[in-house]
Structure 1
Amino acid sequence: MAPLKALEAEYRILDPNFQAFCASHGIFSVEDFLIHDLYELAAFAEQQPTSENLKQGITQVLCIIDTQHQPWLNGMDLLDDALHNKHVLSTGCEGIDLLLGGGLREGQLTELVGPSSCGKTQVCLLAASNVATKHMGNVVYLDTGNSFSPQRIAQFVGHIAGHAFDEAGNIIFQRIMNSIVCHSVFDIFTMFNVLHRLVINFPSQLQKGGQVRLFIVDSISSLITPILGNSGSQGRALMISAGYMLKKLAHEHNVAVLVTNHTVGGERGIPKPALGQTWKSIPHVRLLLSCDHGNNVRSISVLRHPSMASGKAAKFSI
């Protein structure tokens, strides 16, 4: 993303005074801006003689982030990229894989929506285990609610391999477990930081043969909901930026991105995905997960998909 100095000619509010203020906090580009706590930055701005101009500058940068778009690509470029670079990764859940035509597609942001305790985390853990075991890929798992379970991962890995690992198989087991990296993330700024470091390290990962194939955020709503409260346009801009960065990671580095989202009460008491209309347009694929009370059967249906009709559904158990 652009250095702040390069934006001064077009946006006069981003003058040398604003740039100096940002530089004093280690901010030199729009990308640096994204990984800082804006509440803290605004508080520092309040203490300055030119606080109003500084706050206008902060808002202007957020507007710039809001208008970021991917470059234009023609149909043949997109088709060639989809056929040769965007592979399908099995989740390990037969019902979900059949519904999606094989599983999660690299280059796409897939959102799994559902009420509390319906199995969203279990699907994430199973997908992480399957990608690490069968696709020999690295997985980055952002845990926002202390729900990541290495014991459950180990169970899934053993089941996928078809047996409990004996002494000779422990090396393989350790490789699989080591390829799943979990970060505890409790605010959106930490997520931006993880994304920033991940993108920087991608060239070295490719050289070592350790490319990240799957990136999981469980749950994205836990990170975004707090910033939407009373922060107005800033919260909305940060939400859009989060979606933009996740989609950019997916597209440019051929990564399958899976995020979970909770449900809230809608019209006539019918549950609907949280985060509102603005977020609704961000995921490529939206899936609704629900459970039948009294048994282990889960239902999953398509809310949105670029190549299939909404409403298509399947049942499965984990």
Structure 2
Amino acid sequence: MAPLKSLEHEYPIIDSNFQQFCASHAIFSVEDFLVHDIYVLVALAEQHSNSERLKQGITQVLSIIDGQHQPWLNGMELLEDAQQNKHVLSTGCEKIDMLLQGGLCEGHLIEIVGPSSSGKTQVCLQAASNVAKKHMGGVVFLDTGNSFSPKRIAHYISQISDHADKEGNYKILQKLMSRISCQSVFDFFTLLDVLRQLESSLRSQMQRDCQVQLLVIDSISSLITPILGGQGSQGHALMISAGYLLKKLAHEHNLCVLVTNHMVSGDGGITKPALGDSWKSLLHVRLQLTRDHSSNICKMSILTHPYMASGNTVMFTIL
């Protein structure tokens, strides 16, 4: 999604007059439409002499929003998509790869959910390092809480380096670190803007030597939770829109989207994944991670997977 002004070239109906009308009602971007009562906006447009053109502009923006949602697919299209040669990206952890029959599948929106300090970030960093090294792919790491650790990345890379000499190792480190891009994102609307920029960049990635294969958002729940407050449905609509955009990026550009989520207290004090059932329905894969801090042993369980049994678990040690 984007500022309205950036859409004028592609959609002439979203001209300066339409932008001025929207700005007078504190609407400056496509996202703002999701938090505005459209019926009220149409009624306000009808008070202007160019009401028909303004309403056409409103319809155009709504169609752009609808375009973010996944289209209807028939059974044959779904079968063809499933049979595509999508790569499986190794996480760098043998036990996790064994659980997932090879690793993280391109085209999937995958979530790791778990309590604080359960090892979610470490798994993401190890996966990022391994994709850069073993698959020679690009990694985009969106950091929402200063969790990205270049030293930890360097540590993982050094463990999978094939060179014995220091100079050779340093050159490898330079090359692999350059494949991993990190950007700090501290609010939901910045996330949408970054994802739109990434979508534009991915369209031309075939022209580059290093194609993006993995997108990590650690943690997405810290960005979505603040917009879900209150009694209205706007925050929920924004969350769904973000989920569809992530699935669209994964599907159209054959990359794996890996996000982390935290746990919240549910009925009877039992913890459950944050963001609710609507968010859960958007995921291809949900993995739960727990950790025994006394032994540093972690357990990963499959909660949701399109073709693997829920409840399968594996034990491993955080490096």
**Does the CA contact (< 8 Å) of 2:34 and 2:238 recur in 1?**
no
**Does the CA contact (< 8 Å) of 2:69 and 2:245 recur in 1?**
no
1:33 matched to which residue of 2? 30
Query: Secondary structure in 1 aligned to 2:213?
Result: strand
Q: Deviations over 1:31-55 (max 9, x none)?
A: x513x6988x99xx99xxx59x9xx
**How many residue pairs are counted as aligned between the two chains?**
302
1:68 positional shift: 5.3
CA distance in 1, matches of 2:283, 2:147: 23
Structure 1 stretch displaced more, 225-234 or 159-168: 159-168
TM-score (norm: length of structure 1): 0.82
CA distance in 1, matches of 2:26, 2:175: 37
Q: Deviations over 1:197-252 (max 9, x none)?
A: 11111233211122110000000000000101126211111100110110000000
Q: For 1:261-276, list aligned pairs within 5 A.
A: 261-276=261-276
Amino acid at match of 1:33: V
1:82 matched to which residue of 2? 82
CA distance in 2, matches of 1:23, 1:206: 38
2:280 matched to which residue of 1? 280
**Does the CA contact (< 8 Å) of 1:85 and 1:254 recur in 2?**
no
Change (3 A) 1:170 1:82: farther
**Does the CA contact (< 8 Å) of 2:34 and 2:237 recur in 1?**
no
What are the ranges of 5 or more consecutive residues in structure 1 without an aligned counterpart? Answer: none
CA distance in 2, matches of 1:180, 1:22: 39
1:147 positional shift: 0.9
Structure 1 stretch displaced more, 69-78 or 108-117: 69-78
**Does the CA contact (< 8 Å) of 1:302 and 1:310 recur in 2?**
yes
CA distance in 1, matches of 2:198, 2:27: 19
Query: Secondary structure in 1 aligned to 2:145?
Result: coil
1:81 positional shift: 3.4
2:248 matched to which residue of 1? 248
Q: Deviations over 1:100-142 (max 9, x none)?
A: 1111000000000000001000000000000000000000000
Matched, 1:258 2:255: no
2:150 matched to which residue of 1? 150
Q: Which runs of 4+ in 1 moved over 6 A?
A: 1-7, 23-28, 36-39, 59-64
Q: For 1:30-179, list aligned pairs within 5 A.
A: 32-34=29-31, 65=65, 69-162=69-162, 166-179=166-179
Structure 1 stretch displaced more, 287-296 or 176-185: 287-296
Query: Secondary structure in 2 aligned to 1:84?
Result: coil
